[in-house]
Structure 1
Amino acid sequence: MSQSEKQQAETLYLKVPAHMNREKTLRAIKGHLTVFPGFSPVLVYDDKKKQLYELSAEYATKIHPDLLLRLREVVGEENVVKK
Structure 2
Amino acid sequence: MSLMITDECINCDVCEPECPNNAISQGEEIYQIDPNLCTQCVGHYDEPQCQQVCPVDCIPLDPAHPETQEQLHAKYLQISGKA
Q: Which has the higher helix share?
A: 1
Q: Is TM-score (shorter-chain normalized) higher than 0.5?
A: no
Q: Which has the higher strand share?
A: 1
The TM-score normalised by the length of structure 1 is: 0.34
The TM-score normalised by the length of structure 2 is: 0.34
